[in-house]
Structures are given as C-alpha cells and as structure tokens.
C-alpha cells in the first residue's frame, strides 16, 4: 500500500434497543481525531465505521419492535449516521454489514477459507450455552449461577451441527507474529494478556448456524448462515479490498472484543493469504460516577446530551482529555464539566478572547505571521503522543503551552503598552496561538477554523469560543 495512505477503523456497532451512547462515541471520536491528524499531515487518511446488523440479538430486537430485521436496521443505522454528523465525524464510508457489497465480499472470503482448508469440511456437533447478549458461547466458568453476569440472562442451550474454523492449526504461527511484532497489539498490557491466553492453547470455533436465518448464507452450504462475528470482522476488508486500501493501519477496538480482533481475525486473514492489520489498539472501558453505565441505573449519557452542554468540539475534547486512552476511567458530569471549564472556557477560550480584544484595537497594515514553532521539541513530543494514541497526555502539553502564554501576558500586561509596542507583542503571541489552533484542529475542527478567521481579520466581532457553563 502507498506510504502516504492511512486506513483506520472503529468497530461496527450493534444497536439493540438502545440510543447511541457515549460508549459508542468514545472510540469513534478517537478514531476521527487520529484520521484528521494524518489528513492534516498530508496523508490520504480514511476512517471506516458502521453498524453490525446480523445475528440473533438484532433479530430479537427487531421482533420486539414488531419489525422485520431489515426495516429495523434501516432505521437504526440512520440514528448512528445522525449521531456521527452531530459529532463531526469525518468517515469515508459508513458500512452496514447488510450492504450488498459486504455480503458479497464476506461470502468470497468464507469460500476462500473453505478452499484453503481452514474450515473443516465436515460439520461438527456443537453443544453449548449461547448468550444472545454477547452473541457468543459461554464457558461454565463465565456464568454465575447459570446466568450471564453481564446481561443477567440465562444462556440458551444450543445443540446443532456447525462448521468449524480450525484455529488450532494456526496457533504457533499466531504466537510468532505477535512475538515478532508483525502483529502489533497495544497497549502492552493487553498484548501480554492475549499472548498468555494463546499460550494456553486455542480451540477451533464454530462459525455457522443452521437455526438462525438472519445472517449471511455460507457460500459452500446455504443451509447455514455465518456466525455474526466472523462475517462482521470482514467489514474492514470489504472497504479495504475494494478500494486498494488493505491492510488497515489500525483497528480501534474496546478491550471486550480484543480476542476476536487479535486471534480470530488475523488467523482468517493469514489463512487466505492476506496481509494483517498493522496495529490493533484496545481502549478501556469507563464507568459513570464509578458505576457501570446502564439503562436500569438510569445513568446512560447520550452524545446529544454532551453536545447540548459542551458543543461539538467541547464534547470531542472532554471525552479524550478525561483519562489515558487504553486505561479504564470514569466519566461523570462533574469530571467533564471540570475539564471543559479549565481547559476550554478558562484555558484556550479565554486566551483567544483576551488576545482578540487587543487585536481589534488595531487596524493591520501588515499580515500576522502564520503559526510558528512547529519544529519545537514540545510540538514533536505532542505529535508523537498523538500518533501513539496518547490523547490525554498529548493534551497536557497543550495545557502547559496555554499556561505559559498566559503567564507571559500577565507579566507583560500588553493592555498597558503603547499601541506600537502592543502591536509587536501581538505579532509575537498570535502566531503561537495559531500554532495551538493547528495542533488542536483534529480535536476541535470548528474552533481551529474560527481562531484562524478571527486572527486573519475576517470577522468584526467574535462570541466566546467556549461559553461558561451555567
């Protein structure tokens, strides 16, 4: 693949009976930031996102709504598109796993797996306990008193003949590519966890169902449909293979689904002779005020709630500034309010408005210098941290620069200077602010543009960038 290309993905989302919530927004905003960052750097960077629409879980949800699965997923995928528009997510394609091209690519992929001998041609009898919530079989150890502890439902006993993907055949290969770094799993702690599990030995997995109609038929045996996870993983390849954009540079996934992305997916690709994604990054999970987010507790936060309070850019920022990406963390309105107020209202917003006020005192007969200092060591560190997806730590660097500029302003008190000296001062400070705007652009695309407009004298007055919270 061309060196100047970057291909990023978030996981396609299930939508069951739910409104889009901040658990969905969190990885999507992160992926958008990294995509915009590389675009700004001149790359042809593309982001793929979408919805995962097959499987028992969706079929059940549709039924509950008295709808056909297709009709139901038509509506819900629109909900997600709307949410991503609200958050200014700049994706190249919103893929639905019910899209015709995906079904075709998935079937070709499955046929190849079969032809290469990665799928056992003889279906095997499978008996197990299937949790519809997880869309996976549960081991007895994972259950608490026979109940799935995450979904509080009793798994369904399931016994039928299924096709199997022969994971065991590939376990040594997989261990090697992880150890050699060819398959790059991040963060390090998660890589070690996965490696530990692989060392215990893999088991072949069932990849088909006969009892479930709402799925993609296996090309080599149409009486079976593909297990939803297997075909959903192929979504990344559907876009990539059709656009000369494979392999992916990064799959951004929640830690709950790391196994699928670091064990099953690489084996599927290797089995058909395809290249592996360059990196798989697992982000953490968050709680709301220390509690799991749940409808029963009533603490679900929707992206629209956040946008109503912090604006689009504010929402994008507070989500990623709250705690290190990759760690678990806690969200709560107080935490988010504090970040918004400190970093955006009092920090960047206040800085821009103070300097803009002085700027409007002058009629400029000369151009303000563009951003300066791009090669300073702190900017280099900032960029490396972003490329490493360490968003909150990268933002610490920005906070420090804003504080430094504030300190300088307070020391020099430019409002007390003669007009001419004031002008010199502004000529020195404004380029530093423009650099901040440029660096923050991936997080704050609209704000960055507003700042540029303000200091190029294109507008006469400007409302505060980040109004105070009430």
Contacts with ligand MSP, residue ranges (CB under 6 A): 11-14, 23-24, 26-27, 52, 232-233, 253-254, 256-257, 285-286, 293
CA 33 to chain centre: 9
d(CA 127, CA 199): 25
- Angle CA(148)–CA(231)–CA(153) in degrees, nearest 5? 15
Measured in degrees and rounded to the nearest 5, phi and psi for residue 398 equal: -65, -45
CA 10 to chain centre: 5
Give the nearest residue (CB) to ligand MSP: 254
Q: Which is nearer to ligand MSP, 34 or 398 (CB)?
A: 34
**Cβ proximity of 105 and 98 under 8 Å:** no
CA 289 to chain centre: 22
CA distances from 8 to 42, 121, 267, 372, 468 (A): 15, 34, 20, 30, 35
Residue 257 Cβ vs ligand MSP, minimum distance, rounded to whole Å: 5
Residue 51 Cβ vs ligand MSP, minimum distance, rounded to whole Å: 8
Helix (H) or strand (E) holding 93: strand 93-96
Q: Which long-range contacts (CB under 8 A, 24 or more apart) does 239-242 make?
A: 239/48, 239/92, 239/93, 239/95, 240/7, 241/105, 242/101, 242/105
Residue 64 Cβ vs ligand MSP, minimum distance, rounded to whole Å: 17
Q: Which is nearer to ligand MSP, 103 or 232 (CB)?
A: 232
Q: Which is nearer to ligand MSP, 198 or 233 (CB)?
A: 233
Residue 90 Cβ vs ligand MSP, minimum distance, rounded to whole Å: 19
Q: Which is nearer to ligand MSP, 247 or 431 (CB)?
A: 247
Q: Which is nearer to ligand MSP, 286 or 425 (CB)?
A: 286
Residue 210 Cβ vs ligand MSP, minimum distance, rounded to whole Å: 22
Q: Which is nearer to ligand MSP, 61 or 293 (CB)?
A: 293
Residue 331 Cβ vs ligand MSP, minimum distance, rounded to whole Å: 9
Residue 381 Cβ vs ligand MSP, minimum distance, rounded to whole Å: 27
Residue 426 Cβ vs ligand MSP, minimum distance, rounded to whole Å: 43
Q: Which is nearer to ligand MSP, 183 or 437 (CB)?
A: 183
Q: Which is nearer to ligand MSP, 89 or 430 (CB)?
A: 89
Helix (H) or strand (E) holding 365: none
CA distances from 463 to 10, 113, 365 (A): 35, 58, 25
Q: Which is nearer to ligand MSP, 52 or 313 (CB)?
A: 52
CA distances from 14 to 149, 263, 421, 432, 466 (A): 19, 21, 59, 43, 33
CA 359 to chain centre: 38
Residue 253 Cβ vs ligand MSP, minimum distance, rounded to whole Å: 5
> For the sheet containing 136-138, what is the strand order?
136-138, 124-131, 156-162
């Amino acid at each position: 693949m061309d060196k100047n290309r970057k291909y990023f993905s978030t996981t396609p989302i299930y939508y069951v009976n739910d409104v889009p919530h901040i658990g969905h927004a969190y990885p999507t905003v992160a992926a958008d930031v990294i995509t915009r960052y590389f675009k700004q750097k001149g790359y042809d960077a593309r982001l793929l996102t979408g919805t995962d629409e097959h499987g028992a879980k969706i079929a059940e949800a549709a039924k509950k709504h008295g709808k056909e699965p297709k009709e139901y997923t038509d509506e819900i995928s629109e909900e997600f598109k709307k949410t991503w528009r609200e958050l200014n997510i700049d994706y190249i394609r919103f893929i639905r796993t019910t899209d015709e091209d995906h079904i075709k690519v998935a079937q070709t992929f499955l046929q190849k797996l079969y032809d290469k001998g990665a799928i056992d041609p003889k279906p095997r009898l499978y008996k197990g306990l299937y949790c519809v919530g997880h869309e996976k079989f549960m081991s007895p150890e994972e259950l608490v008193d026979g109940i799935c502890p995450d979904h509080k439902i009793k798994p369904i006993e399931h016994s039928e003949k299924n096709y199997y993907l022969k994971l065991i055949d590939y376990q040594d290969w997989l261990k090697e590519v992880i150890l050699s770094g060819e398959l790059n799993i991040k963060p390090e702690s998660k890589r070690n966890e996965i490696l530990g599990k692989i060392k215990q030995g893999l088991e072949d997995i069932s990849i088909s169902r006969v009892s479930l109609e709402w799925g993609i038929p296996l090309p080599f045996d149409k009486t079976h449909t593909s297990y939803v996870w297997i075909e959903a993983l192929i979504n990344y390849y559907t876009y990539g293979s059709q656009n000369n954009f494979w392999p992916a540079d990064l799959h951004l996934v929640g830690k709950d689904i790391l196994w699928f992305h670091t064990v099953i997916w690489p084996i599927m690709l290797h089995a058909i002779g395809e290249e592996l994604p360059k990196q798989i990054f697992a982000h953490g999970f968050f709680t709301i005020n220390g509690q799991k987010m749940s409808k029963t507790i009533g603490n679900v936060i929707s992206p629209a709630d956040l946008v109503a309070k912090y604006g689009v850019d504010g929402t994008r920022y507070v989500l990623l500034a709250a705690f290190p990406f990759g760690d678990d963390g806690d969200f709560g309105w107080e935490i988010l309010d504090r970040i918004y107020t400190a970093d955006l209202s009092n920090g960047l917003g206040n800085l821009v408005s103070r300097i803009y006020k002085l700027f409007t005192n002058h009629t400029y007969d000369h151009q303000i210098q563009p951003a300066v200092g791009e090669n300073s060591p702190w900017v280099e560190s900032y960029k490396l941290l972003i490329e490493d997806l360490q968003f909150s730590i990268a933002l610490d660097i920005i906070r420090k620069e804003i504080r430094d500029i504030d300190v300088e302003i307070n020391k020099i008190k430019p409002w007390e200077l003669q007009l001419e000296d004031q002008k010199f001062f502004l000529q020195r400070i404004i380029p530093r602010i423009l650099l901040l705007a440029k660096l923050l652009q991936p997080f704050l695309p609209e704000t960055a543009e507003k700042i540029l407009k303000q200091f190029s004298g294109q507008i006469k007055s400007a409302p505060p960038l980040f109004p105070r919270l009430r």
